[in-house]
Amino acid sequence: MMLNRGTSLMLNLGHALDHMFLLIFATAVTSIAVEFGFSRWEDLMPYSAGAFLLFGIGSVPAGRLGDLWGRRSMMVIFFFGLGVAGLLCALVQNAWQMALALAVLGAFSAIYHPVGIPMLVQHARNPGATIGVNGLVGNLGIAFAAILTGFMVKYVGWRAAFVVPALLSFAAGVAFMLLTPAETESPARRKILARVQLPPRMLARLFMVMTFAAVSSSLLFNFTTNGNGQLMRERFRGIVDDPAQLGMMLAGVYTVASLAQVIVGRLIDRFPLKQLYLGIVLMQIPMFLLAAHAQGWALFWLQIGFMVTIFGAIPFTDAMIVRYVDDAIRSRVSGMRLAVSFGISSLAVYSLGPAVKSAGFATLLLSMAAIACCTAAFVLMLPTETAAAADPKHA
């Protein structure tokens, strides 16, 4: 049975909220640092690492509960938990309180990806297109975080940037409960098989390579989404200094880049995953190399370029899980993959401030080009469906 339109809408909105909440701090960090007595934003940035660590490791219990208990129930907890965490962030008075509130936010944010996306695609006729639209909406949440936070910081204060999304999340939770029928059985009891059945050895290889590729991709995602605001602020100094205008420009970068996921999602339904994935990852490398020393508007266009390729690579992991993994265990498989990739990539958030402070953004962007090379190497190791059909024992 297909999901009703209201449920699909709320699940997509949940993705937007998930990403929006996680980027508010990074966008407002300069103002928060001043209030908490820090002379540089780089010194406050490590305090947000706990949010991304729990965003990763929290995916394991979230995915397990989603499969064995129910995805609807977990999504209700997600919406209301985000709201509570957002209010906590707005009430903190020092850096360590903020670190704790952000960790709570990360724990509730961990629910969405292993639960919401499998719920959305469990009956989708064209899962690639569904994932693409979902990714678009999720990344528009990042864009909205840039706009909302920029305006709140300028006109109201950074605390309001947490309160407004918190109230929206409470409203979304109520709407989700009203629009989504109760589950009659847990996903683990249903028999929805993967579209492509791979031999066990090839499936194990797929999981391993997919996780390695996801780790390097997540490093790039966290470095860019948490650092883009400060990168733009530095490279536009003397050209554009207004925080609201910078927020709108950054939102423009994310909005344009988000459209890549819709296009990629449709291509995934039509063409082999490996070749598409590799092509997009290879395009990241020259973008980072050129951006390393770009200034002003040249940087702006290159930011659009590398964010298009980063966002464009996101749908592949979820598409592989839908294509190769039975629905009964998708939340658990997704949770384990996310725990490894986002758990490790939380180091990017922790090290972002110190790395920029000691080496600068140019060195960081060059390092990201090297990480993109690693991602491409991992993607080359992915097995192909053609190989599986020709040799079931292929590993």
pLDDT tens digits, 312-357: 888 888 888 877 887 778 888 888 888 877 777 777 777 777 878 8
Following DSSP, what letter does each residue of 144-155 receive, concatenated?
Answer: HHHHHHHHHHHH
* C-alpha to C-alpha distances, 112 to 195, 201, 333, nearest whole angstrom: 23, 29, 14
Residue 224 vs residue 201, higher pLDDT: 224
Model confidence at 179, in pLDDT bands (50, 70, 90)?
very high
Q: Which token pair is 145? A: 């975080």
Q: Please determine, for residue 199, whether its predicted confidence score (pLDDT) is greater than 60.
A: yes
What pLDDT is stored for residue 394 in this prediction?
A: 41
How far apart CA 281 and CA 116 sit, in angstroms, is: 26
Other C-beta atoms lying within 10 Å of the C-beta of residue 275: 12
Residue 46 vs residue 95, higher pLDDT: 95
Give start and end residues of each alpha helix (H) in 92-126.
Answer: 95-109, 112-121
Sort 32 into a burial class: Cβ within 10 Å, 0-12 / 13-18 / 19+: buried
Q: Please determine, for residue 191, whether its predicted confidence score (pLDDT) is greater than 80.
A: no
What pLDDT is stored for residue 192 in this prediction?
A: 67
pLDDT in tens, 135-152: 888 888 878 887 888 888
Q: What's the Rg (C-alpha) of the chain?
A: 20
Q: Quick one: how far is CA 306 from the chain centroid?
A: 15
Q: Please determine, for residue 387, whether its predicted confidence score (pLDDT) is greater than 70.
A: no
H-run or E-run covering 143? helix 127-155
Going from N- to C-terminal start, the domains of the chain cover 5-390
How far apart CA 122 and CA 255 sit, in angstroms, is: 27
The rounded mean pLDDT for the chain is 86
Cβ-proximal residues to 150 (8 Å cutoff; 6+ apart), any chain: 27, 243, 244, 245, 246, 247, 248, 250
Q: Please determine, for residue 310, whether its predicted confidence score (pLDDT) is greater than 60.
A: yes
Model confidence at 171, in pLDDT bands (50, 70, 90)?
very high
Fold of 5-390: Growth Hormone; Chain: A; (1.20.1250)
Model confidence at 99, in pLDDT bands (50, 70, 90)?
very high
What pLDDT is stored for residue 160 in this prediction?
A: 93
When mean pLDDT is compared over 48-62, 194-208, 275-289, 340-354, the highest value belongs to 275-289
